[in-house]
Amino acid sequence: MDRVLVLLRHGQSEWNLQNLFTGWRDPPLTQRGVDEARAAGAALRKTGIVFQKVFVSELFRAQDTAAKALEVLGQTDLVPEKNIALNERDYGDLAGLNKDEARTKWGAEQVRIWRRSYEIPPPGGESLRDTVARTLPYYVRSILPCVLRGETTLVAAHGNSLRALVMVLDGLTSKTIPSMEIATGIPLVYRLGADSLVVSKEVLTTDLTG
C-alpha cells in the first residue's frame, strides 16, 4: 500500500513580495504565486500522483494554491477540508508591518528572536511552539488516518504550520526546527510506513526552480 503525504506551502503572496509579516491576514497570491502553484501541480503530475484527500487552511492563499495545483492535475472535483489548525502562525502586533521597519522599531535581535525562537511569541501572537500545539493534534486526528488508509493526501498550508508537521515527520527538535525553511510552491513528497514513520522524502523541483 502506498501511503503518500504531500506538503505544499502556498505560492508567493502580495505580502511576501512586499516583505510584510502576514500571519492570519489574507492577501492574495501574486502572479508569481499563481505560477508557483501551477508549476507545483505540473511537477506532481510528472510523478503520477493522484490525490484522494486535500486539506487546506482557512486562508485564501493556501486554498488558491491548492486549487491552481489541482487544476493542472485535472482533479478539480476534489473538495478540500478547511481548518484553522493549518493557518499560518499568528504574528500578532507584527502583522502588516514591513520586516525592515520592525527591525528599526524593536531592534534586529528582538525581531530575530520573535521570528526564529521556538518558544517566544511576538506581542499578541503565537510562538512556533504554539503553532505546533494546534497543528499537530489536527494532523494526528484528521490527516494521518487518511494517509495510513492509503489515501494519497495533499496539505496546502503555510511556512510555519508546515514546519510543525515537518518537525515531527523529519524528527527535528525545538533547537533545529527554527532554522528550517520551506520554500513557496515546492512540493514535499513523503511516503510513510504502516507505523506512520517516514520511509522516504522527496523535494520536487518545478519549472520555476530548475
For the annotated catalytic residues, the residue numbers are 10, 88
The C-alpha cell at 185 is 510552491
Q: Which residue has the cell 511556512?
A: 159
- State the Cα–Cα distance between residues 95 and 18, nearest whole angstrom: 12
At residue 51, what is the residue type?
Answer: F
